[in-house]
Amino acid sequence: MINQTFSLQPFSNHESLPNLQITGSIIRYDNQLVIKYTLTGDLKEVAIAPPSDTPARKHELWEDTCFEFFLSIKGSQQYWEFNLSPTGHWNVYRFDGYRQGMQEETAFTILPFTVEQQTESFTLTLDIDLGKIVAANQALDVAITTVIKDRNSGVTYWALTHQGAEADFHLRDSFIIEL
């Protein structure tokens, strides 16, 4: 079992929300992946949509507050982008290379995750079997990211590291967690 904690940083060219932190953990055991995000601070300033009664696969979730991660098989150009909305909506995209060949990953027909919201914290947890897309013995490189939209429609981009001149979650230099 591999268990790592993380703390995301806002992209430096964007004004971050005061008193906001995004931390969490990522665990891989066999071919299960558990990722937990915890958003803490002045949450009344963050636009967090209420949970949907009918969570579904949706496009362009990153236009609002969205928790994301990217994973690739070590040494491969192919990678996947997972998008998780506080509403319960989700999507998974597969890419052939850097921003190339984007298509929905049809191996997943549901992506159940839980959300818990309190006054000063919001937690999102996903527990998923990766066996549909990778073998248990394949080493993975992971990038963990979040898009935060504030109540005034301002957007900040959070990641483990920002390697480009602009916020770009797809840069392979930011896939820094090894599982």
Q: What is the pLDDT of residue 19?
A: 81
User: What is the C-alpha separation between 165 and 159, in angstroms, rounded?
Assistant: 14
Listed in sequence order, the residues at least 6 apart from 11 whose beta carbon sits closer than 8 Å to its beta carbon are 156, 157, 158, 159, 162, 166, 167
Neighbours of 11 (CB within 10 A): 17
| Cβ–Cβ < 8 Å for 153, 5 | no
Q: Does residue 72 contact residue 78 with C-beta atoms inside 8 Å?
A: yes
Cβ contacts of residue 80 below 8 Å, gap of 6+? Answer: 70, 71, 72, 92, 93, 94, 95, 105, 133
CATH number at residue 16: 2.60.40.1190
**pTM of this structure:** 0.95
Query: How do residues 115-162 score in pLDDT, each as one tens digit?
Result: 999 888 999 999 999 999 999 999 999 999 999 999 998 899 999 999
Q: What's the number of domains the chain is made of?
A: 1
pLDDT tens track for 71-92: 999 999 999 999 999 999 999 9
- Furthest-apart CA atoms within the chain: distance in Å: 45
Instruction: Residue 16: give the domain boundaries.
Output: 2-178
Q: Which residue has the tokens 């979040």?
A: 146
Place 165 in a pLDDT band, splitting at 50, 70 and 90. confident
Residue 106 near residue 142 (C-beta atoms within 8 A): no
Q: 56 pLDDT exceeds 90?
A: yes
